[in-house]
Amino acid sequence: MAQTTRVALLFGGRSAEHDVSLVSAAAVFRNLDPRTYKVLSLYITKAGCWKVVPSPLASRRDLERGRGLDFLPWTKKSRGTGLRADIYFPVLHGPFGEDGTVQGLLEMAGVPYVGAGVLGSAVGMDKVASKVLLQSAGLPVVPFRAVLETDWRRDRAGILRLVRKEFRRPFFVKPANLGSSVGITKVKKDKDAAAALETAFRYDRKALVEKGIAGRELECSVLGNDEPEASLPGEVIPHREFYDYNDKYVDNKTGFVIPARLSASLIAQVRRLAVAAFRTLDLAGMARVDFFLERTSGRLFVNEVNTIPGFTEISMYPKLWAASGLPFPALLDRLIALGFERHRARRVCVERDR
């Protein structure tokens, strides 16, 4: 890499996790060494307009003012304005950013970028698709069922009978394609199941119904491309009944144990399963893998995988790597290097096909 690498930070976006992205991008911006990187801040509004802004630290008013860019900020028309970058760093959570859409755009442009590719991003975003793949690879996942909104509208009573038959209370209902615990309901009474599904369908056409696991919530950070490494695991101690959006980003009362107090054999199992999940979903760069450790059985379940995990000051992904000996600025250096590495490998493959 050159002495000063031009990094385009993509943040904001059209999803319900827009505000979380702003906080994550601000933390990334603060931890990118200005002696090594020149940062171009590209803000995507909730309406999908791309704008060059001073930084993610700007006020919401300053972020929203002014005209937007052409849809592709790296086009020939924009090159004379200094908008080109050496590598693009999406810090976009949820749909239209973490789901393969922006990654597809970057692939079409042929530019290096940080994180998973189109396939890994898409399946990592879709909780149903990822669970099907993880299950087929022999990894332990929590019992689940997918419900399409079209089926729900056609036969509400039948869906409710099926859900009540398969899942003991409490169980969870989630949108299939969203993160940061947005749209999730813990169902403790049968009469609340319909409202939980309606909530999930506000955010996606597909809902996930999942068995409730009583136990500990563990998280593990993964870093790498074809030879990924796992951090020490950590434990989340929710302030509320479960680790919901307010618990994560509003109340600031969540407890964290880093590293988690686990036996050596259980730590090794968490790390092994985290790497296995990363490889199964064909991920790259980074991911946070979340687990449940069931209290009664001692069984470990892979809950979900986040391909662009939170980078806020309280986020587990950078904190776990810091506890594993890789501080935030060095972690960002590594992620950027991995983005360049993957781009070079991709370019070699394309040239072979010609």
Per DSSP, the residues of 287-312 read EEEEEEEETTT--EEEEEEESS---S
Task: Please tell me which residue in 15, 41, 121, 180 is annotated as part of the active site.
Answer: 180
Task: Please tell me which residue in 210, 219, 235, 304 is annotated as part of the active site.
Answer: 304
- The answer to whether the beta carbons of residues 314 and 13 sit under 8 Å apart is no
Q: The tokens 């969540």 sit on which residue?
A: 254
For residue 220, report the phi and psi dihedrals to the nearest 5 degrees.
Answer: -140, 135
Active site residue 290: yes
Active site residue 107: no
Task: Please tell me which residue in 249, 271, 317, 342 is annotated as part of the active site.
Answer: 249
Q: Which two tokens stand for residue 27?
A: 């933390």
For 262, residues 6+ apart whose C-beta sits below 8 A from its C-beta are: 218, 233, 270
- The answer to whether the beta carbons of residues 294 and 143 sit under 8 Å apart is no
Active site residue 304: yes
CA atoms of 248 and 22, how far apart (whole Å):
15
Task: Please tell me which residue in 12, 13, 15, 17 is annotated as part of the active site.
Answer: 17
Whether residue 56 is preceded by a cis peptide bond, meaning omega within 30 degrees of 0, is: no
Task: Please tell me which residue in 41, 221, 306, 315 is annotated as part of the active site.
Answer: 306
Task: Please tell me which residue in 290, 324, 333, 342 is annotated as part of the active site.
Answer: 290
CA atoms of 186 and 174, how far apart (whole Å):
9
Residue whose C-alpha is closest to residue 12's, from 32, 26, 30: 26
CA atoms of 47 and 14, how far apart (whole Å):
6
Task: Please tell me which residue in 97, 234, 310, 339 is annotated as part of the active site.
Answer: 310
CA atoms of 182 and 201, how far apart (whole Å):
12
CA atoms of 238 and 244, how far apart (whole Å):
8
Q: What angle do CA 249, 268, 257 make, to 5 degrees?
A: 30
Task: Please tell me which residue in 14, 271, 288, 342 is annotated as part of the active site.
Answer: 288
Active site residue 288: yes
Report the greatest alpha carbon distance in the chain. 63
CA atoms of 32 and 328, how far apart (whole Å):
9
CA atoms of 107 and 346, how far apart (whole Å):
10
CA atoms of 151 and 141, how far apart (whole Å):
24
Q: Which amino acid does the sequence have at 303?
A: N
* Enzyme catalytic residues: 17, 180, 249, 288, 290, 304, 306, 310
